[in-house]
Amino acid sequence: MPGGELAAGAGAHIVEYGPNALTVETESPTATLLVVSEMFYPGWEARVDGQGARIHLTDFLLRGVAVPAGRHRVEMRYRAPAARNGAIISALSLGCLLTLACLTWRSRRR
């Protein structure tokens, strides 16, 4: 990707902005790296025109996504891996507790 100044006719605008989602529409005559002033953190996923894309650590702290020439829609979503894993563990624990409660109740009925 070329470095330096932004090409004439290139630009980006935010379509959606929230704590767990960011959508940006871009247009550039050359391939470029979209850098957003948002912290790079594990759990963020990117898509360019619906296709999975890698998020790069840029400027030691920010998120960047490689975007080919032309018009594109870049979506970033946060999927908290720790929260998902915690929910799975909690559901399994609850299932075990309910099973033990049912077994105890059935053994006391006999």
Task: Name the CATH architecture for the domain at 1-79.
Answer: Sandwich (2.60)
Check if the beta carbon of residue 30 is closer than 8 Å to that of residue 21. Answer: no
pLDDT of residue 1: 46
Per-residue pLDDT tens over the stretch 37-59:
999 988 899 999 999 999 999 99
Domain ranges of the chain: 1-79, 83-110
User: What does the block give as tokens for 69?
Assistant: 């020439």
CA distance 46 to 77: 7
CA distance 101 to 110: 15
pTM of the model as a whole: 0.70
Nearest Cα neighbor of 77 from 47, 54, 51, 49 is 47
